[in-house]
Structure 1
Amino acid sequence: MARAVEASADAVEALLAASRALVGIAARSVADVDPDVTLPQYRALVVLASRGPQKVADIAAELGVAPSTGTRMCDRLIRKDLIRRHRVETDRRVVRLVLTTEGRRLVDRVMRRRRAALSAVVAATAEVWHPAVAPALRAFAEAAGDVPEQDWWLGWPADGEVA
């Protein structure tokens, strides 16, 4: 039992170190593509990329910020032409936010930079990668509620018109 607790604590510490490195890679990737987009703003773009049109309140909840903070953040992204408001045809009172073509391009460019940076790290540490690492990380991401990248765009055109 003590060995399992020690292994679990070691795994948590390793994940904390890895998460710091991953946040650093993510932040640099965003800053390299568009220094005027903050990491929280990018996260809002990823929410839209992964889940499609959303209400501001839903984005704020996903990011763990107050609705007023979410509104201000989304207003900035609208001014940057990365997202736009879209009224639902069946209920004109409902306003959803959608990625613009430029917003989708930004997410794509950041993801390419992140993938390249991660590829370099994996190549530099190839001798320590065990075949079980990739499936373990996928299971970890799934347990954390991550949406696989290939599912991001399904059914959500860049212009926000719901398919």
Structure 2
Amino acid sequence: MPKDAPALDAGIADSEALEALLAASRAMVGIAARSLADIDPDVTLPQYRALIVLAARGPQRVADISAELQVVASTGTRMCDRLVRKGLARRSRPTSDRRVVKLTLTAAGRRLVNKVTESRRKQLAAVVAATADVWHPAVAPALRAFAAASGEVPESEWWLGYPSLDEEFEAPA
């Protein structure tokens, strides 16, 4: 066996993993798009992703949301303006520094995130049930590691301090 055989095998395995992940990501995007369209067809996937950033990380400056979504600042600003107009987010200023304006989820934004997440959970549960015979015990930890490596915050660790925000933040003047 050639001395570079393990590297070759690893390359083939990596290629297979990459192709499988590409196919799975297309399926996941489809599930996400259907879940969102069923709940609120007027919210785009990028707008929903901004809501997820707010749900996972708490109040954020528009610049921080733009950086997280890897969009230019003007695109992030327009996206956040639309979320504010739709009543899904609101601008607020921390009482500790009135120069800073942050975006916060509204109750309607939280409800949307929760409903879409529940819809996705149901659709994914059906897919998992339909493919139960091929799931290996290592799949779940591998997927969690994949999500962590891509910067996703686990849902169980999302920021949960919504009600206390009104004490620290106030509407911009």
TM-score tier after normalising by the smaller chain length: over 0.9
Correspondence 1:70 to 2:76: yes
Other-structure match for 1:59: 65
Correspondence 1:142 to 2:160: no
Other-structure match for 1:79: 85
Tell me: CA distance 1:57–1:149, structure 2 relative to 1, closer, same or farther (3 Å): same
Instruction: State the 1:160 CA deviation.
Output: 3.5
SS of equivalent to 2:19? helix
SS of equivalent to 1:76? helix
The structure having more radius of gyration, on CA atoms, is: 2
The TM-score, its normalising length taken from structure 1, stands at: 0.95
Q: Which amino acid aligns with 1:103?
A: G
The TM-score, its normalising length taken from structure 2, stands at: 0.90
Other-structure match for 1:110: 116
Correspondence 1:33 to 2:33: no
Alpha-carbon distance between aligned partners in 1 of 2:76 and 2:165, rounded to the nearest angstrom: 19
Alpha-carbon distance between aligned partners in 2 of 1:44 and 1:153, rounded to the nearest angstrom: 14
Flag structure 1 segments of 5+ consecutive residues without an equivalent.
Answer: none
Instruction: State the 1:153 CA deviation.
Output: 3.0
Alpha-carbon distance between aligned partners in 2 of 1:159 and 1:26, rounded to the nearest angstrom: 30
SS of equivalent to 2:100? strand
Q: Which amino acid aligns with 1:124?
A: A
Other-structure match for 2:8: 2
Identity of aligned residues (%): 68
Alpha-carbon distance between aligned partners in 2 of 1:53 and 1:80, rounded to the nearest angstrom: 17
Instruction: State the 1:3 CA deviation.
Output: 1.1
Other-structure match for 1:91: 97
Aligned residues: 162
